[in-house]
Amino acid sequence: MISVHALRYWYFACLASIFMIFEVMVDLYQPRLMASIVDQGILGLGHDGKPDPDFILSTGAVMLLVTLSGCFCGIGSGVFANLFSQKAANRLRKDCFGRILDFSFAQTDRFPAGSLITRTTSDITQLRIMWGQMIRGAVRCGMFLFAGSVAMLSLSADFGAVVIVAMPVIIAEIVFFLWKTTPLFTSLQEKLDRLNSVIRENILGIRVVKAYVSQDRETGSFDSSARDLADVRFRIALLLAALHPLMNVVLNLAVAAVIYSGAVRVESGGMHPGAVMAGVTYMSQILMSLLMAAMIFQTVSRGSASARRIGEVLRQKRELGDGTLVRGSRPGFVSFRNVSFAYPGSHGFALHDVSFDLQAGGTLAIIGPTGSGKSTLAALIARFYDAEYGSVMVDDQDVRLFSKSALRSRVSVVLQTSQLFSGTVADNIAGGKGDYSVDEVVRAAKLAEADEFIRALPEGYDTPVGPGGSGLSGGQRQRLAISRALFRKSDILILDDATSALDFRTERRILDHLREDFSSVTKIIIAQRISTVMSADQILVLDQGRAAGCGSHSELMASSPLYRSIWESQMQEEK
């Protein structure tokens, strides 16, 4: 799946490889020029042992040309390898994020939030590095290995024997180190994540840490995470510290063997001394390219871990199918028909056999204990999840028949936790719409009783909102979230405990605005306060996912013991 992204830019990869091949060829050719400059120009072989400046100048000119073309090829291969890896990574990054945006809520629940962030950023970077290295490194290393071995064998069978003995030793070393370090690198990442999460929690919860005077304990747990991380780093460093000297020793033993066996052949007259020197050069080339291959393996093993993690995201199927319907036969009509729903992975039903009808323009209030399924009900209408049994109807049509974006532009949900975005206050109210009229924004803010406090902000509607709405109080955030819903002028409005941080006067005024100015809008209001729900046309009482009563305030007072006891808990003192 991921290779598809890379293959799209195959021509860059090919160009990079071709340039790299030329660069390596130049690299392989250059020592010969240098050797002839040294042997003939300086040592003066064939020139009475005297330096020959003319020869140096003429060969030097050739070498200059070759060098320049090698440099050109090297840069060219870098350009194309980068074009390839960056373009492919960019494409992959966009696709990955696009796919995540299309996730259902159940799918986002499956991935921890932090992990989706690293998957779209650092994992893709890792993959890009791998692609870049594979193209340039693998070509370079393969060519050196191939050219070196061929040249070595052509020189002498003894040299070939040295290669055959040394190579497995080096390969065994490399395999050993990869085998040892790969799990350590995985564990390094885990320890790093753990340390970062300890830091994050302590910064975010600094008031709790201080209130409970637990600085010493937190420092202790920080220290132990820091030590864990440092230990893994230390173990990796120790392993790598041994790798290089070990390779060096094997390499030089091999060189010594080449020189000695060469010397024996030279003595018996089977070989020129020059061939021995060439043998030493080729031996180094071969073993060094093996070492380079080890590094490439390491990048590949990290890169393939990243590829796996990205693949997990890309392989996610669209869970909520899309329909085509934009508007049904009875606009604004909302009903539940024997709806049951369980969250993925949980045992019990969050909603169990719930039914109700809500006429267009009507108001339904929902009340019930913590965890009784109120928010779940709201989530099903906007189709954040699909009901397991029964059907959720909007406009008298099953929500699954609607186009998701059309459905969600008809239904506005104000969530329990107000989520704000970085941008100005006005941008937030306009809900990400690029071109909006300021009058509309102000109108929505007025209806949500937010206008007054917004105007008191340093830059009014143009005041930037920090990430997560920092700088605003809970009540202010809630009013901005309500403004955002009212701005959209949708047919169905759901307030999911969205006024809990507001004082009563403000809440009452907002509810009054809704009644007066949004009389044609179907309203569903979830609340804890009985005063908030009392004036609704219809009140649904939920208890452990089941409907424990439905009707007007007075009907429920008569028929529902749960409703009465909630009422009593709030009204008792007054009696």
Partner 1 sequence: MSDNRALQYRKEEQTSVRASLRPGGAAMMMKPGEKPSRFRESFFRLIRYFSEDRYSLFLILLLVVLTVSCSVSAPMFQSRAIDCVVAVDLDALPGLLGIMCSLYLLSGIFMLLQSRITAAVSRRVILRLRHELFCRVVHLPVRDTDAATRGDLISRMTNDTDNIDSVVSSSLSSFIQCVLMLVLSFAAMLWICWQLALISCTAIALSLLVTVTVTNISRRFFIRRQEVLGELNSTVEESLTNFRTVTAYNMQQGAADRFNRSSDELARCGMIAETVSSSMGPLMNMINNLIFLLVAVCGAWFSLKGLITVGGISAFFVYSRQFTRPVTEISMIYSQIQTALAGAERIFELLDKNEESSAGEEPGDLKSASIEFRHVTFSYEPGHPVLDDFSLKIEAGSKVALVGSTGSGKTTVINLLMRFYEPDSGEILINGRNIMDFNVHELRRRIGIVLQDTVLFSASVRENLIYADSSLTDEDIAEAAEFSGLSEFISGLPEGLDTELAGSGCHLSDGQRQLVAICRAFLSSPDILILDEATSNVDTRTEKHIQDAMARLMNIGTCLVIAHRLSTIQDADRIVVMDHGRLAETGSHGELLKKGGIYSRLYSIQFAGQAT
Binding partner 1 (rule: CB under 8 A), the pick from 18, 21, 25, 35 is: 35
Evaluate whether 294 touches 174 at the Cβ level (below 8 Å). yes
300 binds partner 1 (CB under 8 A): no
41 binds partner 1 (CB under 8 A): yes
Binding partner 1 (rule: CB under 8 A), the pick from 473, 517, 519, 561 is: 473
Distance CA 421, CA 427 (A): 9
Considering only residues 231 to 250 of the shown chain, the ones binding partner 1 according to CB under 8 A are: 231, 233-234, 236-238, 240-246, 248-249
Cβ at position 354, least distance to partner 1 in Å: 18
Distance CA 554, CA 103 (A): 43
As given in the structure block, the two tokens for residue 27 are 């690299």
| Alpha helices by DSSP H, 395-503 | 404-410, 425-430, 438-447, 451-456, 474-487
256 binds partner 1 (CB under 8 A): yes
Cβ at position 160, least distance to partner 1 in Å: 18
Distance CA 176, CA 243 (A): 10
The burial class, CB within 10 Å (0-12 / 13-18 / 19+), for 466 is: exposed
Q: Which one-letter DSSP state was computed for residue 419?
A: P
Strand 334-341 relative to strand 351-358, pairing: antiparallel
Binding partner 1 (rule: CB under 8 A), the pick from 417, 438, 517, 558 is: 417
As a whole number of angstroms, the longest Cα–Cα distance in the chain is 124
- Tally the residues of the chain: 575
57 binds partner 1 (CB under 8 A): yes
Measured from the CB atom, the residue of 63 and 339 that comes closer to partner 1 is 63
Evaluate whether 120 touches 97 at the Cβ level (below 8 Å). yes
Binding partner 1 (rule: CB under 8 A), the pick from 5, 93, 309, 523 is: 93
How many residues bind partner 1 (CB under 8 A)? The answer is 190
261 binds partner 1 (CB under 8 A): no
Binding partner 1 (rule: CB under 8 A), the pick from 8, 82, 167, 322 is: 82
SS3 of the chain: helix, strand, coil, percent, to 5? 65, 10, 25
Give the phi and the psi of residue 86 in degrees, each rounded to 5: -70, -45
Q: Which stretch binds partner 1 (CB under 8 A): 124-132, 152-160, 166-174, 437-445?
A: 124-132
Considering only residues 514 to 573 of the shown chain, the ones binding partner 1 according to CB under 8 A are: 528-531, 534-535, 565-566, 569-573
Q: Which stretch binds partner 1 (CB under 8 A): 86-94, 155-163, 328-336, 517-525?
A: 86-94
Task: Write each residue from 325 to 354 as x if it is in contact with partner 1 (CB under 8 A), else as -, in one continuous string.
Answer: ------------------------------
Considering only residues 361 to 390 of the shown chain, the ones binding partner 1 according to CB under 8 A are: 368-372, 375, 382, 384
Please name the residues in contact with 318: beta carbons below 8 A apart, sequence gap of 6 or more.
102, 104
Measured from the CB atom, the residue of 304 and 357 that comes closer to partner 1 is 304
Evaluate whether 541 touches 382 at the Cβ level (below 8 Å). no
Measured from the CB atom, the residue of 168 and 273 that comes closer to partner 1 is 273
297 binds partner 1 (CB under 8 A): no
Measured from the CB atom, the residue of 329 and 370 that comes closer to partner 1 is 370
Measured from the CB atom, the residue of 198 and 401 that comes closer to partner 1 is 198
Binding partner 1 (rule: CB under 8 A), the pick from 23, 123, 158, 491 is: 23
Measured from the CB atom, the residue of 10 and 212 that comes closer to partner 1 is 212
Please name the residues in contact with 275: beta carbons below 8 A apart, sequence gap of 6 or more.
155, 156, 262
Considering only residues 154 to 213 of the shown chain, the ones binding partner 1 according to CB under 8 A are: 192, 195-197, 199-213
Binding partner 1 (rule: CB under 8 A), the pick from 58, 338, 355, 405 is: 405
As given in the structure block, the two tokens for residue 532 are 């908030």
Question: Please, what is the Cα angle at 351 between 350 and 355, to 5 degrees?
Answer: 175
Ramachandran category for residue 337: left, alpha or beta (phi over 0 → left; psi -120 to 50 → alpha): beta
Please name the residues in contact with 325: beta carbons below 8 A apart, sequence gap of 6 or more.
397, 401, 402, 403, 406
Q: Which stretch binds partner 1 (CB under 8 A): 167-175, 385-393, 472-480, 514-522?
A: 472-480
Cβ at position 380, least distance to partner 1 in Å: 13
Considering only residues 484 to 513 of the shown chain, the ones binding partner 1 according to CB under 8 A are: 484, 488, 497, 500-506, 508
